[in-house]
Each structure stands twice: as C-alpha cells, then as structure tokens.
Amino acid sequence: MTALSEYERLEASGIWRASPDSQRVDVYVSLGDATLTILDRREQPLTHWSLAAISRVNPGKRPALYHPDGDPGEVLELGDDAVEVIDAIEKLRAAVERARPHPGRLRLVIFLGSLAAVGALATLWLPGAVREHATRVLPDVKREDIGQSLRRHIERVTGPPCNGPEGRGALAELARRLPAEDDPGTLDVMRNGVKGAVALPGKTILLGRSLVEDYEEPDVLAGYIVAQRLRASLYDPIDDLLQFAGTWDSIRLLTTGELPEEVLADYAQHLLTRAQAPLPDETMLNGFRAWSVRSTPYAYAVDVTGESTLGLIEADPFATEVPPPILSDADWLRLQGICGG
C-alpha cells in the first residue's frame, strides 16, 4: 500500500474483541503493506484486516476504536501508546476516501454545473430575448401611450412645449418635409431642458428651442431631426427604454402592458441628461441624402471647428447642388417665433 510505505511494520499493543459477546483480549497490532494483523500475546495471528476497509467508531477521540467495514461487532481499541499506528491508519483512511468514487459528489457537481448553466442562460440570454420580444410585439398604440407618459414626466422639467400658433403650423410643415417612414410623427419645441433633440417612442421628437432661435437657416434643425429619425430606426426607443428598465420590467410590460411610473420618471430624466454617441458618418450621410438635407450646417453646429465632423463636411451630398427647401423663408421665421421670443 504505497500510501503507507513509510509506516511498514509498525507495531503496537491494543485490546481486541471478536464479537459483541466475546471477551476483550490484549493483543499486538502489526501494520503491514496492505493489512493490519492482530496477534495474541504468543504472537499468533488472530485475524487480518484490509487496510483499505477499516472504519473508525469515534473519530478524534481516544482510545481509538476501529472495526472492519461491514462488521461493527469486531472492535480494535488502540490507546495513547499506539499513536504512530493510529496516525498511520488515519492517513490511509484519508487516502482511501480521496480515491474512492463519490456518486453523490458527482451528482452535486453535475447539479451545480447545470445550475450554473441555467444561471448563465438567465443572465446572458434571457434579458436580451425578453427585451427583443417585448419590443417586437408591442403595438403602435402602446408605443404612443408610453411616449405620452414619458412626455408628461419630461414636461415636469421642461415645461409644456412652445405653442405659438403660426409656429405650430410651420412645425407641422417641417414634420411633413422630414417624415419618419412616410409618417410625419410629432415635432415639438421645448422651452427649457432639452439640449439638441430627443426621440420618444411613437415617432415623437422633442427639440431644444436653441435649434430654432440660434441659427439663420433651418438646415441645422433639419440635421438634428434626421439624426433622431436615423437613431430611432437603428435603435428602437422602446428597446432603449427596456434596457434601462431591466428584465423584470420587460416581463411586466409583456404580461400587463404597463411600466411602473417610477421607471418612466427615471428614464425621462435619463433622456434629458445622457450624451448620445454619434452615428457613423456613412449612416448620417445616407440619411441626409434620403431626406435631401445638407449635412455641412449640422456638422458645424455639432462641432464649430469641424474637426470631429469633417467626414460630414467633405462628403456633403448637396455640396454642389441645392436640395429642396426645408421650409419657406416665411415658415422659418414663424417657427423661430414659436416660443414667443
């Protein structure tokens, strides 16, 4: 037994009982390579135990009590004068236990592995799958409802939209000039709180008043609208909302058709304060081309130096030709006064 080669031929005295009804007798114990031999006082062998099949009755206590596996009636008692033999037997029992197959442990490992796989699936796959499904099946009327709910929360910060009557007519004309998939949607100029433009579910875009008051031509405003139209087509506003809300609220939307008001309030604040990553130049240029809008005015509005938007300036699809007007001069003047000065 290689695990105990260093203990070969250890001997000690002990007390042995062959069965519960037998008399206890003083014995010698000899530890061999593979067996433990119990001898009487004349050193005649009484029995042999396999070292790989020894059980202890009282782990950690003295005197140490052992018996062969399957026969608890036969007991060997080793006291303090047999410390080396006890240590050797314990070392062997530990080695045998490590080498022995453990079906229960294997089942536990398999179970924990399966649980980890399910957990990983729930963590990595489920949130995206639930969100994508909710985004895909949500009807347009519910998108409009969510957009209006978000708008109510936003207006607690921005106040109501600017409503100059003549400006509202010009804004409606602008929406028809830059529609979302053949649908004009809704454009609103907000008095405060909106920097640039913000797209809501339901084809609504909120515009900062600086876009209509700080520029001499409507091309900058048109550029921001084009950017939001493109962003909404690439990244569904509902999907963005559900990413912010989380998996359980996505499930809630699927099952009840509602989202908690506190989630909508937090997301409304997020919309007003987040920095939107720029879209690729190629995507933007395709959009300017599709809506017949010059890209250069927008590029300089985003970066007055033109350094970070050089691609939009150099590849302006209308650098050498004039696109259809965004608005008439009269409508542009009306729109610039929509907030009442």
- The model's pTM is 0.64
> What CA–CA distance (Å, rounded) separates 116 from 166?
62
DSSP code for 100 = S
Which class for 294: exposed (0-12), middle (13-18), buried (19 or more C-beta within 10 A)? Answer: buried
Look at the domain 2-99 and name its fold.
Answer: PH-domain like (2.30.29)
Question: Per the structure block, which two tokens stand in for 149?
Answer: 């709910």
* Amino acid at position 184, single letter: P
Q: How far apart are CA 4 and CA 89, in angstroms?
A: 9
Residue 170 sits at the vertex; the CA angle it makes with 165 and 175, to the nearest 5 degrees, is 125
pLDDT at 2: 44
Q: What distance in Å separates the CA atoms of residue 58 and residue 298, rounded to the nearest whole number? A: 85
- Residue 181, SS3 per DSSP: coil
Q: What is the mean pLDDT of each run of 10 residues along the chain (341 residues)?
A: 55 88 88 82 85 84 87 88 85 74 57 50 56 80 90 93 91 93 86 93 93 95 96 89 86 84 93 90 96 97 94 95 94 93 59
Burial class (CB in 10 A: 0-12, 13-18, 19+), 330: exposed
Cα–Cα distance measured from residue 238 to residue 135, given in angstroms and rounded to the nearest whole number? 6
Q: What are the extents of the domains in the chain?
A: 2-99, 102-137, 139-336
For β-strands 10-17 and 197-200, DSSP reports them as unpaired
From the centroid of its chain, how far is CA 217? 45
> What Rg value do the Cα atoms of the chain yield, rounded?
41
Cα atoms in the 13 Å half-sphere on the side-chain side of 173? 18
For residue 121, the model assigns a pLDDT of 45
Backbone torsions φ then ψ of 308, nearest 5 degrees: -80, -10
Q: ∠274-277-282 over CA atoms, to 5°?
A: 155
Q: How many CB atoms lie within 10 A of CB 115?
A: 10
